[in-house]
Amino acid sequence: MRPLDLLDFALKTVTRYRLRTGLLLAAMAIGVAAVILLTALGEGARRYVANQFSALGTHLLIVLPGRNETRGGQPPMLGETPRDLTIDDALALTRSRLIRRLAPLVVGSATVSFAGRSRETNILGSTAELLAVRHLELAQGQFLPALDPRRAAPVCVLGNQVRDELFGPEPAVGRWLRIGDRRFRVIGVLAPKGQSLGTDVDNTAIIPLASAQNLFNTASLFRVLVEVDRREDTARAQQAILTLIRARHEGEDDITVITQDAVLATFDKILRTLTLAVGGIAAISLVVAGILIMNVMLVSVTQRTQEIGLLKALGTTPRTIRGIFLGEAAILACWGAGAGLVIGAAGVGVGRFLYPTFPLAPPWWAVLAALGVAIGTALLFALLPARRAARLDPVQALAGR
C-alpha cells in the first residue's frame, strides 16, 4: 500500500468517528498548550529578570569593602586592620580608562519628617552620577548637583512613595524637610520605578555623599557602583579595580568586585531549571494523552474486528494493518499537537496583551519538545493496539469474535 493511500484511508476513519476524534484532539491539544504556556511563563520570568538587570545597566561592577575568601593559619606578624573603602578610593578609580562613570554609595536608614508627619526611610548618599549609573528617572525638579563629592550640601531627591506619603497632593520641590536632625531642601522627585533588585527606589531619599557620611557619622563607603565603558571590558576593569585598590591599600586585597554578569548568570540558571521543571510537569499530561490514545485505539480494534478480518481476507499484510492503525494515531497526534500549538500561541498572545511588561515567550526547545513528545508518545502507545490488530486471526475476526 502506498504511504499516501494509507494515510488517506486512516484519515477517513479518523474523520468518521467525530466525537472520539474530538475528545482525543482536546486531550492532546491541552497537553501541548500546557507545556507551551508553562514554559512561556518560566522563560518570561527569566527574561523579566534579565530585563531588570539591564535596566540597572548591563555593564555594572559592584565594589564592596572586605574580601570574599576564607583566611586562616597563623595570626599575622604585623598588625592588620581591615581598611575601609573611602571617597578617595572611589575618585582614584575614575582615572581608569575602562571606567565610564561610577557612583559611590553610603546607605542607611533615618526618619524623614515634614510638617508633623514622619517616616522611616532608606537614605542613599551618592553623587550626581548615580542617576546615570542606576538608570533612574526624574519626575520633577533636578537630581543632585555635580559637586565635589567631599562637600556636603543640604539638598535631597525623594522617591515617589516618600513624596506621596509626606506631601500628599502638595508640591514637594523647594520645600524643606528633616532627615534625622538635619534640614534638607527637596530639589527633585524620582519617577516611580518600583522594586529594583532588593532596593525599593520609591521608598528612598537620596542626599549628597558627604551629607550622608555626616548623618551616619562614617568615613567609609557602603559600596561603589562602577559602570564599564564597554561590556567586553568587564573582566579587565575588574582586574584594574583590584590592582588600583591594592596599590592604595598597601598591597592588601581587601575589596570584592562583583560583576553584574555573575549575578545575572545565577538567576538565569535558577529560572531555566524552573522552566524545565514546569515543562516536565506539563509533559506528563502529554503522556496521559498518549495513554488515552492507546485506550481508544484498543476499543477501536475491538469495534472494527470485522473490518480488520475483511482487510485480511482482501490480502492486507500484517505490516499494512499495523501501518493503518499507526497512521490513525499519527494523524490524531499531529492534529492535536497542531491545535495545542495554536491554543498555546493564542494563550501567550492574550497574556502579552494583558501584561505587556512581562515578556511571555515559549522557548523554542519547549515547543519542539512538546510536539516531539506528543507525536512520539501517541505512536509509541498506538504500537500495542496496532500489533494486536495485525495479529488477529482472520476467520475469528470476520465472524466478529
Partner 1 sequence: MIRLADVQRVFLVGGQPVYALQDVNLRVAAGEYLAIMGPSGSGKSTLLNIIGLLDRPSRGRYELDGGDMTVQDDEALAQIRRTKIGFVFQSFHLIARLSAFENVELPLLLAGMAATERRGRVERALRALGLGERARHRPDQLSGGERQRVAIARAMIMEPRMLLADEPTGNLDRTAGHEVLAILEELNRRGITLLVVTHDPEIGERTRRCLRLLDGRIVADVNQTAGHAPA
If one counts every other C-beta atom within 10 angstroms of the C-beta of residue 148, the result is 12
Near partner 1 by CB under 8 A: residue from 1, 64, 287, 288: 1
State the minimum distance, in angstroms, from the CB of residue 328 to partner 1.
13
Between 12 and 150, whose beta carbon lies closer to partner 1? 12
SS3 state at 175: coil
Single-letter amino acid, residue 305: T
109, containing H or E segment: strand 99-114
- Using CB under 8 A as the binding rule, the residues of this chain from 14 to 53 that contact partner 1 are 16
Q: How far is CA 397 from CA 16, 320, 383, in A?
A: 21, 16, 19
DSSP state of 362: -
C-alpha span between 112 and 307 (Å, rounded):
86
Our finding on whether 97 is near partner 1 (CB under 8 A) is no
Single-letter amino acid, residue 22: G
Between 16 and 95, whose beta carbon lies closer to partner 1? 16
State the minimum distance, in angstroms, from the CB of residue 276 to partner 1.
44
Between 21 and 259, whose beta carbon lies closer to partner 1? 21
Joined grid coordinates for residue 308: 480488520
State the minimum distance, in angstroms, from the CB of residue 330 to partner 1.
18
C-alpha span between 389 and 392 (Å, rounded):
5
| Number of separate helices (H) and strands (E) present in the chain | 12, 12
Between 314 and 354, whose beta carbon lies closer to partner 1? 314
Our finding on whether 2 is near partner 1 (CB under 8 A) is yes
Near partner 1 by CB under 8 A: residue from 270, 277, 281, 395: 395
Q: Cβ contacts of residue 40 below 8 Å, gap of 6+? A: 344, 347, 348, 351, 360, 361, 362, 363, 366
Between 42 and 309, whose beta carbon lies closer to partner 1? 309
Our finding on whether 140 is near partner 1 (CB under 8 A) is no
Question: Per-residue x/- marks for partner 1, 304-323, CB under 8 A?
Answer: --xx-xxxxxxxxxxxx---
Residues forming contacts to partner 1 in the complex (CB under 8 A) are 1-2, 5, 9, 12-13, 16, 306-307, 309-320, 394-395, 398
